[in-house]
C-alpha cells in the first residue's frame, strides 16, 4: 500500500451481533432501524440497483409474498444505493407496466431505503468491492425481535434470491427458539427436529437407552424428535 493511501475500514456485522442502528428515508417515510421493529422479526435486504431486471423479479416476488412474511411476524425492508425519486419511479413502473410469471399490478408496500451516500450499505457490509464498488450485493439480514442478527445470506449481482429459502429461514429460526431445538438439513415444518441442540449431548445416552418417547437417536450425538406441522405453524403464524 502507498504511504499516503487511506485504508477504508469496512464493517461486516456478524451472526449474533446487534443490528447496527441507523435512521433513513424510505418510500414509506423515515425509519429508525432496528428500533422501529422491536418485538418483530425483520429482514433487511439490499439489491444492486433500481430499474434492473433481476432486482425487478425479486421485488415482485417479495411484494407478492409480503403478507405471508407478515403473518410469520416478519417485516421486510429493502435498500439500494439509489435516491428516493428513482425508487418511487421504479416501483410505479413495476405496478403499472410489468407482468411477470403471473404477477401483475404488484404494489410494493414495504419500505425501500434510499442510500445514495452508501451510509447504511457500508455499515452492513453490503458493498463488496470485488463484486462491485458502487452497487450493493444481494444481502439478506434476518434480525430477531431483540434486534440481534440471526442469519445472513449473500448473493452476487447475477443471481436472484430463493424466496422459499428466505421464508424457510424465518420459520426455522422461530421454531428453533420456541421449542429449544435445532433444525436438520433441508428442514421444513412437519419434519423431525434435532434435540438436544448441538453441543449438549448428555441426555442423549438416556434416549439411546429408550427412556425418551418420540425421540430417535442415530448415535449418541445425533437425536431427533417429532414436531408436527400444525404445532409449528400454530405457534408461529398470526391468525
Ligand atoms: C439486475 O438486477 O438485473 C442486475 C443489477 C446489477 C447488475 C447486474 C444485474
- Across the chain, which has 239 residues, the per-10-residue mean pLDDT values are 64 95 98 98 98 98 98 98 98 98 98 98 97 97 98 98 98 97 97 77 55 84 96 92
pLDDT of residue 1: 53
Q: If you measure from the C-alpha of residue 119 to the centroid of ligand 1, how many angstroms do you get, rounded to a whole number? A: 21
Residue 117: what are its φ and ψ, rounded to 5°? -85, 0
Count of other CB atoms within 10 angstroms of residue 219: 9
Coil, helix or strand at residue 31: strand
Q: If you measure from the C-alpha of residue 87 to the centroid of ligand 1, how many angstroms do you get, rounded to a whole number? A: 15
DSSP for 16-29, please give it: TSBPPPEEEEETTE
DSSP for 49-116, please give it: -SS-HHHHHHHHHHHHHHHHHHHTTEEEEEEESS-HHHHHHHHHHHHHH--BTTB-S----S-EEE-T
pLDDT of residue 10: 74
Residue 39 contacts residue 161 (beta carbons within 8 Å): no
Q: If you measure from the C-alpha of residue 49 to the centroid of ligand 1, how many angstroms do you get, rounded to a whole number? A: 7
Q: What is the pLDDT of residues 205-237, one digit of tens each?
A: 555 555 567 899 999 999 999 999 999 999 999
Q: What is the pLDDT of residues 101-132, one digit of tens each?
A: 999 999 999 999 999 999 999 999 999 999 99
pLDDT of residue 113: 98
Q: Which residues sit with their C-beta closer than 6 Å to ligand 1? A: 48-49, 52-55, 135, 157-158
pLDDT of residue 210: 55
Q: If you measure from the C-alpha of residue 127 to the centroid of ligand 1, how many angstroms do you get, rounded to a whole number? A: 14
Q: Which helix (H) or strand (E) holds 231?
A: helix 229-236
Residue with the three cell numbers 422479526: 41
Report d(CA 112, CA 54) in Å as an integer.
16
pTM: 0.92
Among 157, 159, 160, 161, residue to substitute to test ligand 1 (most atoms within 8 Å of Cβ): 157
Burial class (CB in 10 A: 0-12, 13-18, 19+), 37: buried
Residue 149 contacts residue 19 (beta carbons within 8 Å): yes
Report d(CA 47, CA 139) in Å as an integer.
7
Whether 55 is catalytic is yes
Among 137, 155, 158, residue to substitute to test ligand 1 (most atoms within 8 Å of Cβ): 158
pLDDT of residue 7: 64
pLDDT of residue 192: 97
Amino acid at each position: 500500500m502507498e504511504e499516503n493511501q487511506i485504508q477504508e475500514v469496512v464493517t461486516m456485522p456478524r451472526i449474533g451481533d446487534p443490528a447496527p442502528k441507523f435512521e433513513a428515508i424510505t418510500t414509506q417515510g423515515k425509519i429508525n432501524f432496528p428500533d422501529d421493529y422491536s418485538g418483530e422479526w425483520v429482514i433487511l435486504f439490499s439489491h444492486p440497483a433500481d430499474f434492473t431486471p433481476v432486482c425487478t423479479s425479486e421485488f415482485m416476488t417479495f411484494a407478492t409474498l409480503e403478507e405471508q412474511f407478515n403473518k410469520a411476524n416478519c417485516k421486510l425492508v429493502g435498500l439500494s444505493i439509489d435516491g428516493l425519486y428513482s425508487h418511487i419511479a421504479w416501483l410505479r413502473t413495476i405496478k403499472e407496466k410489468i407482468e411477470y410469471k403471473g404477477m401483475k399490478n404488484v404494489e410494493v408496500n414495504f419500505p425501500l431505503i434510499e442510500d445514495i451516500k452508501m451510509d447504511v450499505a457500508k455499515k452492513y457490509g453490503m458493498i463488496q468491492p470485488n463484486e462491485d464498488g458502487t452497487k450493493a450485493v444481494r444481502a439478506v439480514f434476518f434480525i430477531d425481535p431483540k434486534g440481534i442478527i440471526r442469519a445472513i445470506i449473500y448473493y452476487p449481482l447475477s443471481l436472484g434470491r430463493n424466496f422459499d429459502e428466505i421464508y424457510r429461514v424465518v420459520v426455522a429460526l422461530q421454531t428453533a427458539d420456541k421449542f429449544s431445538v435445532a433444525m436438520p438439513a433441508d428442514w421444513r415444518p412437519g419434519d423431525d427436529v434435532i434435540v438436544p441442540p448441538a453441543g449438549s449431548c448428555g441426555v442423549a445416552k438416556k434416549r439411546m437407552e429408550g427412556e425418551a418417547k418420540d425421540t430417535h437417536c442415530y448415535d449418541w450425538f445425533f437425536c431427533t424428535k417429532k414436531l408436527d406441522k400444525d404445532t409449528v405453524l400454530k405457534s408461529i403464524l398470526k391468525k
